Amino acid sequence: MTMQFTNQASVVRPENVNMLERFTRSRKIKDRLGKMHLVLTLKREGPSSLATITRKSDYEAERPIMLSTHGMELLAAYLMAARYSGSTALPPEQASDCSGLQMALVQKVPVAEVVVSLKDGDQMLALPETVWEQLSTELLLTSSHVRALDHP
């Protein structure tokens, strides 16, 4: 597993108030087979935060999925549930907010995937089980940063 860390304004103190308007966190996560990697980026512009996940494989980047804080937490939980379910079926999950985020476990041989899509169906991202642990951890860390920025 290879991860690169870049944080700006990681500590919220009164002297860092101007940094709250702009915050960037970026992580590169390689799967344990070394065949693909994800880039998870959190950007805060003004009062809103948005995380994007881009899958890069075979020198191509797929269209990114954009997630709200709710979406980050939901995807992290679903990835953990998929990991612990083993070969047991896991029902699809849908976000309760207006994003239309949907997740489904697809049992494939040799590597299962969680397929993430948005309500328009245009944006889809297949996440192989080789990245579930790292990605769920990074999503939880990222959503924690968002909550700290939203409530200093």
pLDDT tens per residue across span 118-136: 876 667 888 888 889 999 9
CA-CA distance, 147 to 51, in Å (whole number)?
13
Domain ranges across the chain: 3-87+131-150
CA-CA distance, 75 to 35, in Å (whole number)?
22
pLDDT tens per residue across span 20-76: 556 677 888 888 777 778 888 887 765 666 778 887 765 555 678 888 888 889 999
CA-CA distance, 152 to 109, in Å (whole number)?
46
pLDDT for 12 beyond 50? no
